[in-house]
Amino acid sequence: MCGNNMSAPLPAIVPAARKATAAVIFLHGLGDTGHGWAEAFTGIRIPHVKYICPHAPTMPVSLNMRMSMPSWFDIYGLSPDANEDETGIKRASQNIKALIDQEVRNGIPSHRIILGGFSQGGALSLYTALTTQQKLAGVVALSCWLPLRNSFPQASANIANKDMYVLQCHGDADPLVPFIFGSQTAEKMKSLINPANITFKSYRGLPHNACPEVGVGKVTF
């Protein structure tokens, strides 16, 4: 994978215990890598599911005083009216769509692929699912928001995933991505896809962290 013209290592992969007939592509948060999530999935994996945890490229992040770190796109601020890195978000989304396409070529139908992520990775997973033409099984979005929200519904006018399942989880004590961002995102999602297929779960006292058991571990194919 590449992003912002910077290379990133090959994804961390947890292979299926038997023939893979489904896949989870899970995107880590800002400053992280896919290794920790891959290790966590190893302990809760479903035998026929392949888990793919890509790594974001390293780039300067405006929010963190331009320090270089793994990031799917630049973040200028965390306020609702902050400018967004539209070019970087769209480029990162294209990279994830290419990863989905690769798994389809490997023999896993797109409707057997769940896209998920935590924080910045969850944000990218939501945006990608709404703009891809590949029909997905669903999205698991942990402690995140919908990027470029004002571009919808135009950006998803021909959405292939109007009936996909979305599980959103958010801690009500999150100091980095406020809980209201998650709840407002869920309401926005209900206006874009079948609202009956959206589940929003809040976790009392949970700050800005998560574990796969909260979301992907409870999803069945």
Q: Which one has a higher pLDDT value, 211 or 208? A: 208
- Mean pLDDT for the chain? 91
pLDDT band at 215 (very low <50, low <70, confident <90, very high): low
Structural domain includes residue 23: yes
Is 208 considered catalytic here?
A: yes
Enter the tokens of residue 77.
């601020």
Confidence of residue 89 (pLDDT cuts 50, 70, 90): very high
The 10s digit of each residue's pLDDT in 99-142 is 999 999 999 999 999 999 999 999 999 999 999 999 999 999 99
Please give the share of the chain, as a percent, with pLDDT higher than 70: 90
Q: Are 79 and 63 in contact (CB under 8 A)?
A: no
Please check whether residue 221 lies inside any domain of the structure: no
From 35, 48, 111, 208, active-site residue = 208
User: Does 27 fall in a domain?
Assistant: yes
Residue 6 pLDDT > 60:
no
Asked if residue 5 is part of any domain, the answer here is: no
Residue 3 belongs to a domain:
no
DSSP the chain: -EETTEE-PPPEEE--SSS--EEEEEE--TT--SHHHHHHHHHH--TTEEEEE--PPEEEEGGGTTEEEE-SS-B--SSTT--B-HHHHHHHHHHHHHHHHHHHHTT--GGGEEEEEETHHHHHHHHHHHH-SSPPSEEEEES---TTGGGTTGGGTT-S-TT-EEEEEEETT-SSS-HHHHHHHHHHHHHHS-GGGEEEEEETT--S---GGGTGGG---
The first and second tokens of residue 201, run together, are: 């779960």
pLDDT band for 219, please (50, 70, 90 cuts).
low
The CATH number of the domain holding residue 66 is 3.40.50.1820
pLDDT score at 78 = 85
* HSE-CB of 68 using CA atoms within 13 angstroms: 5
- Summarize pLDDT for 7-27 with one digit per residue, the tens: 678 999 999 999 999 999 999
| Tally of structural domains, the chain | 1
111 catalytic? Reply is no
Give residue for tokens 């519904």: 153
Please give the average per-residue pLDDT across 35-49, as a whole number: 93
Q: What is the pTM of this model?
A: 0.92
Of 93, 119, 125, 156, which is the active-site residue?
119
Residue span of the structural domain in which 34 resides: 12-216
Which of 32, 74, 85, 174 is flagged as catalytic?
Answer: 174
Residue 213 has pLDDT above 70, yes or no: no
110 is catalytic: no
> Is residue 28 in some structural domain?
yes
Which tens digits make up the pLDDT trace of 140-193? 999 999 999 999 987 676 789 999 999 999 999 999 999 999 999 999 999 999
Q: Does 4 fall in a domain?
A: no
Show the CA angle centred on residue 204, arms to residues 201 and 209, nearest 5°.
80
* Strand-pair partners of 7: 2
Is residue 210, in this structure, part of any structural domain at all? Answer: yes
Average pLDDT in the 53-59 region?
98
